[in-house]
Amino acid sequence: MSHARSLQLSSNWFWKQRVPARDSVFDELSPIEDWKAAQAYPSEIHVELLKSGLIPDPYLGFNEHKVQWIGKAEWLYKCSFDFAAERNETHALLEFLGLDTVCDVYLNGEKILAADNMFQTHTVPLALSALKPQNTLLLHFKSALLLAKELEAEMGVVRAGSTNLGDPSRVYVRKAQYDWRWDWGPELMTCGPYRPITLKTFSTRVEEVQTHALLSEDNVPSLKVDVTLAGALDSALGASLRVVLSNADKTVLKSQDMPVNGLANTSVVSWDLAGRVEPWWPVGYGAQHLYTVAVLLLDKDGQTLDDVTTRVGFRRVALVQEPLAEPDQYGTGTSFLFEVNGVRMFMGGSNWVPADNFLTTIAPERYRAWLTLLRDGNQNMVRLWGGGVYEPDVFYDTCDELGILVWQDFQFACGVYPAHDSFVASVRKEAEDNVKRLRHHPALALFCGNNEDYQMVLQWGDVKDFPAIKIYEEVLPEVVGALTGPQPVPYHRGSPYGGKGWDTADPTVGDVHQWNIWGGKEYPYQDYAKLGGRFVSEFGIPSHPELKTIEYWMDGAGPEERHAQSALMAQHCRAGSFERRFAILMNEGFRVTEDLATYVYNTQLMQSEAVSFAYQVWRRKWGGRGKEYTAGVLVWQLNDCWPVTSWAIADYFLRPKPVYFTIARQLATYSVGIMRTVLKNRANDRPPQYYEYGNFQSYGATLEIWGTNAGLTPRAAQLELHFVDLKSRWTHTEMHVVTLLPNQATELLAIPCPGPPPEAAAAPPTGDAHFTTTHSVVVGARLLDVESGAVLARFADWPQPFRALEPALLHDPGLALAVDADTGAVSVSATRPVKGLVLSAVGDGADVRWSDNALDVMPGDPQTVVAGGLAGREIAVAFLGNEKAHAT
């Protein structure tokens, strides 16, 4: 027998635009001068056109509109390769890991595949006689855009999102839905062989390996391995299988040989591994122990014919939906929480969209950089949203290594999808391909049927037929259950989903998407405290990226475009009704400005304050066993697919916005929170988001202070409260000994907010004897280690709205920075409170990697951050009252 061979077709690729006037694609093969050598592999046609200088960069200026013709054209790729059969080879196949999207494939003039699903793996068996010494593979990509419109004309127009979520015909084609445009991304209808193509030849090979890395209720590990062979059974006579388990150091922990009994799926080993392996844990709860399972097919002489290697981690994960012990503000209902290895964990994380509209440009290092950024921001879960793609293996491998749990949507988003027989069959194969590919990853915590399809149907109210229920409630759970046992990956039929009659907004059941702050009802962001749910899997507030990113897309545009309401700024902001929605939130919180730098800073501070507030008040509702009222918060969104103003917490170039850092502090092992409730002097006074600046007639304020502890043991601490009046020199400090209960939030204190005596305060004119002076008091809280005094957590609560703070109170806070050139450590201190201090590097150079940023600085509480890559540059500062960055 011969060893199974794999030849990745990674060279000799050429491409050209199809000439519609030519009757046959084979007429396109000559003249050779018509073809251009591909400059990338795998390949997408936009990338080839861009690298060849034939189109402008669609990420710059208004260029997106200049490349729309590409998605309506047809494109050809061809590849030549040599082949020589080896003795005893009996079988061959071509494996296509991803064709985008509508593609006819020809080998040596014979059509071997008609593909129409971007998400499927296509395996095409070949007769050895079909392979010649010199071979030509021809790929004919047709327009997915035009096909979608043809199918829509045939089957009918359906509802699918809104005007900024692509053309509704997209639901008929199994192509990444964001390619049609989304409310954060451009319309770029790609095509091409976007994932590898491999020729495999063999006599007998290992076709499939399924590993079951199990963990019992008592956390005892075991391993089962199922193997399917393919090829000629007679050539496997005398062959054997060897299964080898190794650790990360390549030390063999266990090995076993067994004879080959046939080609059918066979459970070949079942090992008890007590004492031999350690469990895999999410980040923050333990180490990410990973092991390698190698399956080798050996001939009768012990020579390797084929081998497959899989990396596993031993863990068990459960989605727990059980009645809660006591009601909260919404009622009782049920939990929606993740339990890993028997430990219930609060999920703090982000939603993920594809990191580029051109998937082939995302190098493995870029995936790792994004996910490391998430992990370093104290996040432990990423949700792969249903309008993108099933990401390549490197994404999930990296999550395994970093301890990031994965919520994986199937690829359906915001639409009424069809369920005719051919569509359902295509989706079933798509699901099987991807479940098989992903099921061994210990990071995989959930498969979810769709994004917002149930919610959209309820929201529209006029959809009479919702055929895709068959997919979400029959096909997908069948596939997940059948392919991921005996400890199946949990399945959730949609996000959001819960409540009676699919009440996707029910805060007592399932998960919710909370968009009533930015969109929907457009409530003030302080209402996040009222608008939670058992698991908030989407919410967010957008902001502009930093000026460096804006300058990139400006592409040398003149000063007339450098204001927040310019056409070019709008070209790079796709959020629906963003003009009025930004205006509402910005005008509520900040003074109106026409200066772009100031406006950009204010949007970032608004996003930072709103989103971190949501994390703070929702994590407070992680109340211990039976009181897991909110068990997870996933912000929309982690990343961008192009340079844009969006909800992302870090922009396209991986430049974190201020919100990234404030979320990180809310999700740290220990955090402290403050809720200020103003006592109004009349029932119809201004709403609570205006704190005490509504009419300066409040009668005081109460403070509720709580702490959170993600650890699994209690933590004693000192709670230090520091009160500083912005309008006078009055200060006050008090200390309290507290205990943070394990794996939950703990209510620590409820007190009246102190303020300066009336004679010491710069009181507004009033004749009310009950007037309080707390309207200008900043409250700082720190949790300190009892023995060392080290700061475990800090938070500062400021009077709001910020627009009511007189600039003179903020302009000169006595800010001081000291930089250690050797370590990059930056010490920051101030003599007066500082809000939203953003540090940046002056001048050109690589982006600085800040260990922390967007700081609230209190007097007497210096903070130190590390500036990686500062390289001797000066540091610029911006903060509330000095919003334009300037060197210190």
Instruction: Give 133-153 pLDDT, tens digit per residue.
Output: 999 999 999 999 999 999 999
pLDDT interval class at 267 (50, 70, 90): confident
Query: Which residues are identified as catalytic?
Result: 452
Q: How far is the C-alpha of 541 from the C-alpha of 191, rounded, in Å?
A: 32
ω into 321 cis (within 30 of 0): no
The percentage of the chain sitting over the pLDDT mark of 70, rounded to a whole number, equals: 95
Q: Is the predicted pLDDT of residue 765 greater than 80, yes or no? A: no
Q: The tokens 């979608």 sit on which residue?
A: 148
Q: Is the predicted pLDDT of residue 840 greater than 50, yes or no? A: yes
- In this predicted structure, what is the pLDDT of residue 235? 62
Tens digit of each residue's pLDDT (9 = 90 or more) over 456-496: 999 899 999 999 999 999 999 999 999 998 999 999 999 99
**Chain-wide mean pLDDT for the chain?**
94
pLDDT interval class at 565 (50, 70, 90): very high
Q: How far is the C-alpha of 842 from the C-alpha of 863, rounded, in Å?
A: 21
Are 384 and 352 in contact, with CB atoms under 8 Å apart? yes
- In this predicted structure, what is the pLDDT of residue 131? 97
- Mean pLDDT over 511-527 rounds to 92
- In this predicted structure, what is the pLDDT of residue 758? 75
Contacts 24+ apart (CB under 8 A), 367-372: 367/391, 367/392, 367/394, 367/395, 367/398, 368/394, 368/398, 369/654, 370/638, 370/639, 370/650, 370/654, 371/395, 371/398, 371/399, 371/402, 371/404, 372/398, 372/402
Angle at 191 between CA 185 and CA 195, to 5 degrees: 100
Q: How far is the C-alpha of 773 from the C-alpha of 327, rounded, in Å?
A: 36
Are 631 and 347 in contact, with CB atoms under 8 Å apart? yes
Q: The tokens 């205990």 sit on which residue?
A: 739
- In this predicted structure, what is the pLDDT of residue 850? 98
Q: Is the predicted pLDDT of residue 35 greater than 80, yes or no? A: yes
- In this predicted structure, what is the pLDDT of residue 529? 94
pLDDT interval class at 499 (50, 70, 90): confident
- In this predicted structure, what is the pLDDT of residue 800? 87
Supply the DSSP symbol for 69: G
Q: Is the predicted pLDDT of residue 766 greater than 60, yes or no? A: no
Q: Is the predicted pLDDT of residue 768 greater than 80, yes or no? A: no
Are 225 and 212 in contact, with CB atoms under 8 Å apart? yes
Q: Is the predicted pLDDT of residue 225 greater than 80, yes or no? A: yes
Q: How far is the C-alpha of 198 from the C-alpha of 443, rounded, in Å?
A: 28
pLDDT interval class at 888 (50, 70, 90): confident
- Name which of 398, 402, 613, 654 is nearest 514 in CA terms: 613
- In this predicted structure, what is the pLDDT of residue 427? 98
Among 384-388, 700-704, 818-822, 850-854, which is the least confidently predicted range?
700-704
- In this predicted structure, what is the pLDDT of residue 763? 52
> Cα dihedral angle (432, 433, 438, 440), rounded to 10 degrees?
70
**551-568 as b/e: b if 16+ CB within 10 A:** ebbbeebeeebbebeeeb
Q: Is the predicted pLDDT of residue 117 greater than 90, yes or no? A: yes
Distance separating the N- and C-terminal Cα atoms of the chain: 73
Using DSSP, state whether 306 is helix, strand or coil. strand
pLDDT interval class at 770 (50, 70, 90): low
- In this predicted structure, what is the pLDDT of residue 769? 56
Q: Is the predicted pLDDT of residue 762 greater than 90, yes or no? A: no
Among 156-170, 261-275, 727-741, 807-821, which is the least confidently predicted range?
261-275
Tens digit of each residue's pLDDT (9 = 90 or more) over 780-799: 999 999 999 999 999 999 98
- Mean pLDDT over 42-58 rounds to 98
Query: Rounded to whole angstroms, what are the CA distances from 24 to 27, 28, 29, 456?
Result: 5, 7, 10, 43
Tell me phi and psi for residue 665, to 5 degrees.
Answer: -70, -35
- In this predicted structure, what is the pLDDT of residue 692? 52
Angle at 194 between CA 121 and CA 78, to 5 degrees: 100
pLDDT interval class at 277 (50, 70, 90): very high
Q: How far is the C-alpha of 35 from the C-alpha of 78, rounded, in Å?
A: 9
- In this predicted structure, what is the pLDDT of residue 266? 75
Handedness of CA 376, 377, 382, 384 (dihedral sign): negative
Are 639 and 352 in contact, with CB atoms under 8 Å apart? yes
**E strands, 789-833, in order:** 791-797, 816-819, 825-829
Contacts 24+ apart (CB under 8 A), 563-567: 563/594, 563/596, 564/594, 564/596, 564/599, 564/600, 567/62
- Name which of 126, 56, 42, 122 is nearest 91 in CA terms: 126
> Cα dihedral angle (707, 524, 350, 474), rounded to 10 degrees?
110
Among 301-315, 691-705, 843-857, which is the least confidently predicted range?
691-705
- In this predicted structure, what is the pLDDT of residue 695? 46
Tens digit of each residue's pLDDT (9 = 90 or more) over 436-463: 999 999 999 999 999 999 999 998 999 9
Domains assigned to the chain: 5-200 (2.60.120.260), 207-312 (2.60.40.10), 319-409+496-554+607-666 (3.20.20.80), 692-805 (2.60.40.10), 806-888 (2.60.40.10)
Q: How far is the C-alpha of 561 from the C-alpha of 558, rounded, in Å?
A: 6
- Name which of 648, 666, 665 is nearest 657 in CA terms: 648
Residues 6+ apart with CB under 8 A from 251: none
Q: How far is the C-alpha of 58 from the C-alpha of 45, rounded, in Å?
A: 13
Supply the DSSP symbol for 40: S
Q: Is the predicted pLDDT of residue 685 greater than 90, yes or no? A: no
Are 813 and 841 in contact, with CB atoms under 8 Å apart? no
